[in-house]
Structure 1
Amino acid sequence: MAASSSLQVSVVAADHEVWSGQAAMVVATTIDGEMGIMPGHIPTLAILDKGEVRVTLADGSKVIATATEGFLSVDRDVVSVVAGDASLVS
């Protein structure tokens, strides 16, 4: 099965959606350090640490959010970032 050329990304806090859309890459802060996700990434479940979630769009622009602890999951080019609290920086 060929990997798609983009990711479907959702960044949510406990009580609201922060951002969602198509992206080329996601970098998030986990308890094991920064994790980068690109299309075709293996299924993953990681524990978020307090820090940034950086989403790179197809045109190279970035969406940056701060997030508290939570988790990140990746499955079939769908990335879900779920944090206790999160907000957009830019």
Structure 2
Amino acid sequence: MAELTVSVVSADAEVWTGPATQVSARTTEGEIGILPGHEPILAILGAGEVRVKGTDGVWIKADAADGFLSVENDTVTIVARHAALA
């Protein structure tokens, strides 16, 4: 099964990193869902919850604001000024 490599980082710390099967986040354009094989994208984060479904099926939730989401080659990077596990 294909998977993503996901990193959620804040301005001063790594919040969560690991393998995942799905990512959902709020952007300034609306809600976005990322699955393996997603086309490259760079989006501005809207304030809200980032949800990452780990390969074990458990959802990890983080509050994030003031940042961006990048997807390239099944690597998802979420960088936010403020981010913390919910």
2:24 aligned with 1:22: no
Gapped runs of 5+ residues in structure 2? Answer: none
CA drift at 1:59 = 2.5
What residue number does 2:59 align with?
62
Higher strand share: 2
- TM-score of the two chains, using structure 1 as the length reference: 0.92
Report which stretch shifted further, 6-15 or 50-59.
Answer: 50-59
Could you list the runs of 4 or more consecutive aligned residues of structure 1 that deviate by over 6 angstroms after TM superposition? Answer: none
For 1:50, which of 25, 47, 52 is the aligned residue? 47
The Cα offsets for residues 14-68 of structure 1, whole Å up to 9 and x where unpaired, read as 1110000000000011001110000000000000011000001122210000001
After superposition, the CA RMSD in angstroms is: 0.9
What residue number does 2:72 align with?
75
SS at match of 1:25: strand
What residue number does 1:32 align with?
29
SS at match of 1:10: strand
> Which amino acid in structure 2 is aligned with residue 62 of structure 1?
W
Measure, in 2, the Cα distance between the counterparts of 1:38 and 1:12: 20
Aligned residues: 86
Q: How many percent identity over aligned positions?
A: 55
Gapped runs of 5+ residues in structure 1? Answer: none
